[in-house]
């Protein structure tokens, strides 16, 4: 669907199907491991909530948030998990991997904590923009390099609650008028 400079790239139905598949794979691969799924705030909240309901083995859920320093992918943990990750089978849950710098830095930080194993589930992969190669054990969709919104992804805090995933075709226009996506995003079905 294309409307006024916004293109729906993944529908609600496709999102739900793919998230169910990823949850199914995690369930069989972690059957006896009681993993901790760690959602990276705030973009992965919706994906995490949907994914964990398709994980049908005992699992825990926690969250952390990151701060970024400079442009070189240096990150720190702003809000940490409550659960200790030492000796745990950790699955990082990310919304989108772009350059890969954030995920690489986060994996390094978590490895220092003596995890038993570490994997990543990312809903979206902007593979063509990768700067550093980083392992992605569970991947929802490979996407192009357009700026994406909805299903957790935001523009200045807006639009995380849009139910499907959209690409912004004219980013300068959205920058000038941040509310311009609202009539499309929240149109009643
Ligand atoms: P990376 O370090 O370049 O891989 O950046 C990953 C982070 O950039 C994600 O966790 C998002 O917060 C943000 N990001 C990258 N692309 C998009 C997008 O298209 N829409 C919204 N956020 C994005």
Q: Which of 98, 125, 154, 170 is catalytic?
A: 98
**Cβ of residue 101 lying under 6 Å from some atom of ligand 1:** yes
Mean pLDDT across the stretch 157-176?
96
Catalytic residue status for 62: no
137: Cβ–Cβ under 8 A, 6 or more apart, which residues? 91, 119, 120, 121
Residue in 22, 21, 16 with CA at minimum distance from that of residue 122: 22
Alpha carbon 170 to its chain centroid, in Å, reads 23
* Domains detected in the chain: 13-144 (3.40.50.2020)
Q: What is the pTM of this model?
A: 0.96
Residue 74 CA to residue 79 CA, distance in Å, equals 16
* pLDDT per residue as tens digits for the range 23-59: 999 999 999 999 999 999 999 999 999 999 999 999 9
Calculate the dihedral angle through the C-alpha atoms of 32, 134, 23, 83, rounding to the nearest 10 degrees.
60
Q: Which atom of ligand 1 is nearest to the CA of 101?
A: 2
* pLDDT per residue as tens digits for the range 77-115: 999 999 999 999 999 999 999 999 999 999 999 999 999
- The protein residue with its alpha carbon nearest to ligand 1, atom 10, reads 96
Q: Which atom of ligand 1 is nearest to the CA of 40?
A: 10
């Amino acid at each position: 669907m294309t409307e006024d400079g916004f293109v729906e790239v993944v529908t609600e139905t496709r999102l739900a199907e793919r998230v169910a598949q990823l949850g199914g794979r995690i369930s069989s691969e972690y059957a006896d491991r009681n993993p901790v799924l760690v959602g990276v705030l705030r973009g992965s909240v919706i994906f995490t909530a949907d994914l964990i309901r398709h994980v049908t083995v005992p699992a825990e859920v926690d969250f952390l948030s990151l701060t970024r320093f400079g442009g070189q992918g240096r990150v720190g943990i702003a809000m940490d998990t409550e659960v200790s990750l030492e000796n745990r089978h950790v699955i990082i849950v990310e919304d989108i991997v772009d350059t890969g710098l954030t995920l690489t830095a986060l994996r390094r930080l978590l490895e220092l904590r003596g995890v038993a194993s570490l994997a990543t589930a990312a809903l979206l992969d902007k593979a063509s923009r990768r700067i550093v190669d980083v392992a992605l054990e569970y991947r929802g969709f490979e996407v192009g390099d357009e700026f994406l919104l909805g299903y957790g992804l935001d523009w200045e805090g807006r639009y995380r609650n849009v139910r499907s995933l959209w690409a912004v075709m004219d980013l300068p226009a959205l920058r000038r008028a941040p509310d311009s996506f609202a009539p499309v995003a929240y149109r009643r079905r």
